[in-house]
Structure 1
Amino acid sequence: MDFEVGKDSRFDDDGKTKRTGNALTATTHIITVVVGAGVLALAWAMAQLGWVAGISVMVAFACISMYTYNLIADCYRYPDPVTGTRNYTYMQAVGAYLGKTMHLICGLVLYGKLAGVTVGYTITTSTSLVAIKKAICFHYKGHEADCKFSNNPYMMAFGVVQVFLSLIPNFHKLTWLSTIAAITSFGYAFIGSGLSLAIVLQGKGEPTSFTGIKIGPGLSSTDKMWKIFSALGNIALASSFATVVYDIMDTLKSCPPENQQMKKANALGITTMTILFLLCGGLGYAAFGDDTPGNILTGFGFYEPFWLVALGNVFIVIHIVGAYQLMAQPLFRVVEMGANVMWSHSDFIKKDHSFKLGSLKFSFNSFRLVWRTIFVIVATIVAMAMPFFNEFLALLGAIGFWPLIVFFPIQMHIAQKSIKRISLKWFMLQLLSLICLLVSLAAAVGSIRGIAQNINKYKIFQYKQ
């Protein structure tokens, strides 16, 4: 179809169909992405930090995120934030402003995190499926019953489901996934918060502290420090949507400018996110005090009503079945695009095969079948080897927070605005980046230590919860 770019009302300046999104729809996307299973770990993080540090850290992360995501919004177009050429992905923006080397490093971090998220989702799903079985067991056999089950069968079943879903063409374009994810994620977040609030209102809440879990016979000062580091990683993961920020921006209409609309969405989305985080974290800590479980729905701070606990975990499973694919598909595509470039004449890589089953027609690509299946199997095996919810979430948060939310946005902003080295603004931006780097390193070390301790404590592949 012939059209003159910029003059045909059906198309945008890049020749694509007119975008219709606005600040409100972008806000909805942000909230959908950030309200995940990590929210249920915030009560545990609050317990490690206490009221003062816990609230302060959540607010500080929110302020830093709002500032740096606004910098990211200004870099959607290159070189001018209003009239420049669009960057459709985070990697493309980094490459445009910072060059090919940073483009490659960004890709490694971004897709490495996506791969890690699939492992985290496998752990989370199996934990929730076991929690459903345990809720029923405790209800009928009593709260003191020995209701421990292996996570492995559930991880393997989840892996089989994901192998089949991974082979569905264009699965990532099924728009109803986001709707289901939004409904179910809010469902389990409000169930967890509501059950915590009920305990507090009944006067059954446990004692809390301004400084968090008290050092004593069961907790040394060193152990508390490591737990605080891990808690920082949990909070960092919960506040991240860098992996999809340009996907969201690419839905916005051009007038008013996309960066202005996205800044409004950042303000609304991150404010809403922070309020929800404070509610989930604060209410969970108020209900359980020093005994706050790593996940308030699977750690069995709640036993009754057992059907509501089970329903919350069902919501988690439904959410993650689709969310796994939303995170895995970009990784699948980039590997397959790279393979097509490197081995452009290989039938194994490029050729599609068709077959009929009765009246149904199917097609498959050999490389896609083998590569995606192997990936899901490896992710499942890794999850089975170290199925530790909080520590793994903290590690993912630590890996992604500094490079994706702080370092790259700041460096792109410096390049875009041509900020002089050693100037006051340059120095302050680099100081912010350094502080966040130290926080990320502390969170990474704390979570790795926690994973190592758990692996030594439990026999590999024999973990029961």
Structure 2
Amino acid sequence: MLFVWVLQIGTMLTASAHIITAVIGSGVLSLAWAIAQLGWIAGPIALVAFSVITWFTSILLADCYRATDGTRNYTYRHVVSSYSGGLKVPLCGMAQYSILFGTTVGYSITTSISMVAIKRSNCFHKQGHEAGCHVSNNPYIMTFGVIQIILSQIPNFHKLSVLSLVAAVMSFAYSSIGLALSIAKIAEGGHVESGLTGVPIGKDMSSMDKLWNTCSALGNIAFAYTFATVLVEIQDTLKSGVPENKVMKKASLIGISISTIFYMLCGVLGYAAFGNNAPGNFLTGFGFYDPFWLVDLANLCIVIHLIGAYQVFGQPLFGFIEEWSRKKWRGSEFITREYSICGFFTLNLFRLVWRTSYVIFTTLLAMLFPFFNDVVGLLGAMAFWPLTVYFPIEMYIARSKIPKFSFTWIWMQILSGICFIISLLAAAGSIQGLVKGLQTFKPFHSVS
């Protein structure tokens, strides 16, 4: 009980766990593919660059958590309202909540892929390597949805610490298994084709396909570092009595440093193991049966991790809708009344209906659009510039009263502009991949 209490009071440990849960997510699975598109030079450079930019802007955002009068800002949107105001507030809200929504859909897709991988692995083990063992993803997407309906009744972000810590441990587990399998595959020897510029242009790769894949790869890497959407909400869980910005800066450094080490290892070793044929989900590249139990364990860890990660990204959106509803219909007992159950759990009817409806909707969308890499890339592209770069820089400039056209103002604007171009390119690559996938897919007929 003491352990659970420590987790719930809000410390650097819990903040770091939330960050690792948010950062080391399904994005790590696509990094070997991303480096295969970029090559040995641009791939690692891109990973390090995105890491440094994310760490830098997270420091800026942490300093903006409290308003100039010292009051707390409970959400990202509140921070923007304190320092920027005007049209930027609804634009920030649209960007943040769209990304949170899209991420929960993406996690539903990713979890079903891992669940199906476990099913197929056991099928191959029992029926032999020649068996097709093809399985529909839809029942597993629905299973994940049922689990999230239950977990979504957790009242708010502050109650997620234990779930988030478990998810963070799981992310380390499947990343470590992936690393071990990559090392084992490299040790086996054999010819694996790779290059300084990644997948070469040739009969199987046109120059336009190479361009689109490169853009999509940047989006995948950007998605792997996306946690700005929930940074303020994580900082708000920290207990009073200590400067939250200092604690959050340390937690961000710990979380991003650990994540980057894992990303570099998974991406680089994954590319070394598979070369230019690196799959979109590098765990699936090791086959379903060699060693089947270890791959099963890795996929099980992914499932457990994403169960928690869904809540980390969903809770800010839940909270926004519920706060808005309480202000608009103050006298409605359906919206405001909390019913105590057994003395330790509270039930709110509006929370039950709204969150259940939300999970059902994201589940249906996941069944309708089962595209992994391109969904991941598009989400990363959409979130990276506005939420990770633009708003933190603009708010820090306003808070610190940095003079326009000063040296600091100019280089911050240049950084923002470069990141904006990267986001546009990444979005274009992912949209092209989605359009290409839509030409051949059948709604609600996703089969692995």
The two structures have a TM-score, normalised by structure 2, of 0.90
Question: What letter is aligned with 1:55?
Answer: P
Helix, strand or coil at the partner of 2:196: coil
Distance 2:84 2:96 in 1: 16
Aligned to 2:125: 139
Aligned to 1:9: none
Matched, 1:164 2:154: no
Structure 1 position 439, deviation (Å) = 0.8
Aligned to 1:42: 31
Q: In the superposition, relative to structure 1, how do residues 260 and 173 fare at CA in structure 2: closer, same or farther (>3 Å)? A: closer
Matched, 1:149 2:139: no
More helix by share: 2
User: Which one of the candidate residues 267, 292, 295 is aligned to 2:278?
Assistant: 292
Q: How does 1:99-248 map to 2 (within 5 A)?
A: 99-169=85-155, 173-204=159-190, 206-248=192-234
Structure 1 position 346, deviation (Å) = 3.6
Helix, strand or coil at the partner of 1:76: coil
Q: In the superposition, relative to structure 1, how do residues 354 and 175 fare at CA in structure 2: closer, same or farther (>3 Å)? A: closer
Structure 1 position 215, deviation (Å) = 1.5
Structure 1 position 424, deviation (Å) = 3.0
Aligned to 2:4: none
Distance 1:283 1:34 in 2: 19
Q: Which moved more, 1:326-335 or 1:159-168?
A: 159-168
Structure 1 position 31, deviation (Å) = 2.8
Aligned to 2:62: 73
Matched, 1:386 2:369: yes
Question: What letter is aligned with 1:85?
Answer: T
Contact kept in structure 2, 1:205 and 1:289, CA below 8 Å: no
> For the pair shown, which has the larger CA radius of gyration, 1 or 2?
1
Corresponding residue pairs, total: 441
Aligned to 2:415: 432
Give ranges in structure 1 of 5+ residues lacking alignment.
1-17
Q: In the superposition, relative to structure 1, how do residues 260 and 331 fare at CA in structure 2: closer, same or farther (>3 Å)? A: closer
Give ranges in structure 2 of 5+ residues lacking alignment.
1-7
1:232-260 Cα distance to aligned partner (Å, 9 max, x none): 11111111221332344345577874434
Helix, strand or coil at the partner of 1:198: helix
Contact kept in structure 2, 1:285 and 1:292, CA below 8 Å: yes
Sequence identity (%): 54
Contact kept in structure 2, 1:399 and 1:440, CA below 8 Å: yes
Distance 1:49 1:109 in 2: 28
Q: Which runs of 4+ in 1 moved over 6 A?
A: 253-256, 359-363
Matched, 1:447 2:436: no
Matched, 1:322 2:311: no
Aligned to 1:259: 245
Q: Which moved more, 1:423-432 or 1:375-384?
A: 423-432
Structure 1 position 205, deviation (Å) = 6.0
Helix, strand or coil at the partner of 2:444: coil
Contact kept in structure 2, 1:151 and 1:464, CA below 8 Å: yes
Matched, 1:335 2:338: no
Distance 1:87 1:131 in 2: 42
Question: What letter is aligned with 2:118?
Answer: I
1:293-336 Cα distance to aligned partner (Å, 9 max, x none): 11112355563110111111111111122222232222122112
Q: Which moved more, 1:399-408 or 1:152-161?
A: 152-161
Q: In the superposition, relative to structure 1, how do residues 399 and 76 fare at CA in structure 2: closer, same or farther (>3 Å)? A: same
Contact kept in structure 1, 2:154 and 2:160, CA below 8 Å: no
User: Which one of the candidate residues 247, 254, 267 is aligned to 1:281?
Assistant: 267
Matched, 1:397 2:380: yes
User: Which one of the candidate residues 6, 11, 16 is aligned to 1:21?
Assistant: 11
Question: What letter is aligned with 1:414?
Answer: I
Structure 1 position 374, deviation (Å) = 2.0
Q: In the superposition, relative to structure 1, how do residues 301 and 217 fare at CA in structure 2: closer, same or farther (>3 Å)? A: farther
Q: In the superposition, relative to structure 1, how do residues 220 and 436 fare at CA in structure 2: closer, same or farther (>3 Å)? A: same
Structure 1 position 429, deviation (Å) = 1.4
Structure 1 position 344, deviation (Å) = 2.7
Helix, strand or coil at the partner of 1:460: coil
Distance 1:85 1:29 in 2: 23
Q: In the superposition, relative to structure 1, how do residues 257 and 341 fare at CA in structure 2: closer, same or farther (>3 Å)? A: closer
Question: What letter is aligned with 1:242?
Answer: A
Structure 1 position 122, deviation (Å) = 0.6
Distance 2:181 2:433 in 1: 28
Contact kept in structure 2, 1:165 and 1:171, CA below 8 Å: no
RMSD: 2.7
Aligned to 2:42: 53
Q: Which moved more, 1:228-237 or 1:248-257?
A: 248-257
Distance 2:200 2:360 in 1: 41
Q: In the superposition, relative to structure 1, how do residues 201 and 93 fare at CA in structure 2: closer, same or farther (>3 Å)? A: same
Question: What letter is aligned with 1:388?
Answer: F
Q: In the superposition, relative to structure 1, how do residues 263 and 446 fare at CA in structure 2: closer, same or farther (>3 Å)? A: same
Distance 1:362 1:422 in 2: 54
